[in-house]
Amino acid sequence: MKPAPAPRRANALPDTRVAIRRPALHAQVVERLRRLIANGDIPAGERLNEVQIAASFRVSRTPIREAVKLLASEGLVELLPGRGARVRGLTPAETRDHFDMIGALERHAVELATARMTASQREDLRALHAAMKSAFADSDARAYFDLNQKVHRFFVAAAGNVSLAALHDTLTKRARRGRPLTLASAPRWSASMREHEAIITAVLEGRAEAAGALMLAHLRATGEAMADGVGGEA
């Protein structure tokens, strides 16, 4: 008969012998490189100079190569056999299809979020929208873009649907690529701001179906602007 194990002290945690580690270097490199591509700092069609990027990031070429392979799996870059890699551009048709899919997802997200948001979340949404309006008034494209994306991600998070959030993240990684920070079309930027205003108003008034329809139309319009090279902004 085996002796009973000694009782563990109250509040004692099991000794797993696994150290808690900081985020892996390659993950940080991936995010930085992805952002450069998304912001258009490395434009579509341009070859990725691993030596130059490694020097800029102050890392060896190994994590750069790992990052390029991962971004290739996401469709952000194209591997060229024996010739490195280049940023992959979306065709006009692919751009429209992409934003149509994102629009369908965000339509559902907005409808769910409208029904599920807490009072605190509504206040957070009002604050985000106000900050975005302020950036628009100041013609601060970089701040506007960042806040704009926070609003869209807010709805996806507030929907509380894990599967929706995962699919949305995959699609938007590609759709963010190549959007100019300085908006080329003032009319489209103004239209985008009006569309956001209508969406937020419908959400805060509890009109879920109307808010969802407005979001779908908004993202389709953005897709058209992007496909036509206007420099549309979500």
- Rounded to the nearest 5°, which phi and psi values hold at 84? 85, -135
Are the CB atoms for 98 and 175 separated by under 8 Å? Answer: yes
Are the CB atoms for 111 and 203 separated by under 8 Å? Answer: no
Q: Which CATH architecture has domain 25-87?
A: Orthogonal Bundle (1.10)
Under DSSP, is residue 10 helix (H, G, I), strand (E, B) or coil? coil
Under DSSP, is residue 150 helix (H, G, I), strand (E, B) or coil? helix
Residue at token pair 């319009």: 221
Q: Is CATH 3.30.70.2700 the right assignment for the domain spanning 92-227?
A: no
Are the CB atoms for 208 and 115 separated by under 8 Å? Answer: yes
Q: Domain residue spans in the chain?
A: 25-87, 92-227
Residue 181 pLDDT: 43
Closest among 120, 117, 139 to 202, alpha carbons compared: 117
Cα Rg for the chain, rounded, in angstroms? 22
The pTM of the full predicted model, rounded to 2 decimals, is 0.73
How many whole angstroms separate alpha carbon 52 and alpha carbon 58?
10
Residue at token pair 């991936």: 30
Q: Which string of b and e fits 159-188 if b means at least 16 CB within 10 Å? A: bebeebbeebeebbbbbbbbbbbebebeeb
Burial of residue 26 (CB within 10 Å: 0-12, 13-18, 19+) is middle
Within a 10 A sphere around the Cβ of 74, how many other Cβ atoms?
A: 15
How many whole angstroms separate alpha carbon 215 and alpha carbon 222?
11
Closest among 82, 79, 74, 84 to 54, alpha carbons compared: 84
Under DSSP, is residue 175 helix (H, G, I), strand (E, B) or coil? helix
- In sign, the C-alpha dihedral spanning 142, 144, 147, 152 is negative
CA 151 to centroid of chain Cα atoms: 11
Those residues whose C-beta lies under 8 Å from the C-beta of residue 47, and which sit 6 or more positions away, are 80, 83, 84, 85, 86
Each residue's pLDDT expressed in tens, for the chain with a length of 234 residues: 555 555 555 444 444 444 444 467 878 899 899 888 877 788 888 999 999 999 999 999 999 999 999 999 888 889 998 888 999 877 889 889 989 999 999 999 999 999 999 999 999 999 999 999 999 999 998 889 889 999 999 999 999 999 999 999 888 877 665 454 435 567 888 999 999 999 999 999 999 999 999 999 999 998 888 888 744 445
CA 188 to centroid of chain Cα atoms: 20
